[in-house]
Structure 1
């Protein structure tokens, strides 16, 4: 039995073809929700959809190619989802990777690109789906954010600043949307296993180390108390809690999913 009973709900997941987004889609389907998910890479989107349909043959599922930074593209996704599954009551905003750069070597165009990605990957989907959310009981928006929002790193200055802005945006939307019955929350992730970390592993100099050994050393260098990287499914469980009626009295909040990496209470 699922911990998150969501039969009859429709959920939207952006960036849902891999990593945390795909883990969210899987958990939502296991919970009985209808799910529409999007991604920019058509091939990866098709692959994810085929795998999901094999695992969940009776699922109400829509995979849609979409660029969340293009408002028209997101509006088309919202219309397709509404036609296929009905109005959405859950919106999970999950898009964007980190940019490694210091203040000295971040160009103006890089600042613009990073701020645009982090903000409009949330703003565009919220605009596109808000009317649907307003029509549903227990509506929820969950934004996948980073611990950098509260614990910035100088080698990721632009991403840290943008993430802090998104955390503020979540709080602002939570206050504004509460009278309309929409809760808005987020999670703050630390180091989570991803394709990006896998690529760094493949390029490692310590060829004698396997994945478990290499990530354990990485966790030690990063001072992660739990001694390992997080798993996408672990982040997804926190997201699903915030998206479900189990968190019905929670809004404007963030759950720390960093393995103890946070230095703040």
Structure 2
């Protein structure tokens, strides 16, 4: 029996075609779960799907193009999941990105866009999959959030505020859904290796530095005690723990995955 006790159970991952989302899909498949994942970029989604089917030929897998901000699109994804893999028992909300802006230069439209993304990328999937989660014993929801929720940065004012709201939403959902047996938790990530950081590396001025040297200097400038950026798989393992029965008595909580960058209590 797998450590995580999720063999044959159905998990859903939004934003699953790259980064932390894709690492979640891989970890879930390795643990024996059936996985439905979605993304907006069809080329990237199909590339990830082809690789996963080659590596996990016997796995139950569904990859579907879906915009989590489009309620009808998410409802269609939920229906396809139930038909192909059975009702979801684990929902991992991973879609989202950061916006670099200060209070002075964040327009009303930018505020609206950021708040809409951070909230409805969770609200729409939770609504769409709720009926399936209610049918499963030990169901769980995990939201990927940022350390900005507790430790805001002035150059990311809108994202920081929206992330704090999402952290609060996780706690509210955990309280409301507890009587239905659905646990809700989240993770707070710090600096994790991503396509964004790779692009910044390619555009670096210090051409003599390789990736490990450049990221080590970045970690030093950011005062990360562990001295490096996190890996997507490290965030994925924390998510898998929260989604699985290993955390059966945990709800309304967040795991800090920031390499010690956190300064909040």
Report the TM-score range of the alignment, normalised by the length of the smaller protein. Answer: over 0.9
Partner residue, 2:243: 243
Partner residue, 1:159: 159
TM-score, normalised on structure 1? 0.99
Aligned residues: 265
**Structure 1 residue 5 displacement after superposition:** 2.6
Unaligned runs of 5+ in 2: none
SS in structure 1 of the partner of residue 227 of structure 2: coil
Partner residue, 2:188: 188
Partner residue, 1:124: 124
In 1, the alpha carbon distance for the partners of 2:105 and 2:2 equals 47
Tell me if 1:215 matches 2:253.
no
In 1, the alpha carbon distance for the partners of 2:125 and 2:58 equals 27
Partner residue, 1:96: 96
Tell me if 1:28 matches 2:41.
no
Partner residue, 1:38: 38
SS in structure 2 of the partner of residue 67 of structure 1: coil
**Structure 1 residue 2 displacement after superposition:** 4.3
Tell me if 1:205 matches 2:215.
no
Asked whether the equivalents of residues 187 and 257 of structure 1 are also in contact (C-alpha less than 8 Å), the reply is: yes
Tell me if 1:72 matches 2:77.
no
TM-score, normalised on structure 2? 0.99
In 2, the alpha carbon distance for the partners of 1:5 and 1:32 equals 9
Asked whether the equivalents of residues 142 and 243 of structure 1 are also in contact (C-alpha less than 8 Å), the reply is: yes
Partner residue, 1:87: 87
SS in structure 2 of the partner of residue 20 of structure 1: helix
Asked whether the equivalents of residues 2 and 30 of structure 1 are also in contact (C-alpha less than 8 Å), the reply is: no
**Structure 1 residue 4 displacement after superposition:** 1.7
In 1, the alpha carbon distance for the partners of 2:103 and 2:182 equals 37
Asked whether the equivalents of residues 102 and 154 of structure 1 are also in contact (C-alpha less than 8 Å), the reply is: yes
SS in structure 2 of the partner of residue 129 of structure 1: helix
Asked whether the equivalents of residues 192 and 230 of structure 1 are also in contact (C-alpha less than 8 Å), the reply is: yes
1:212-263 Cα distance to aligned partner (Å, 9 max, x none): 0000000000000000000000000000000000000000000000000000
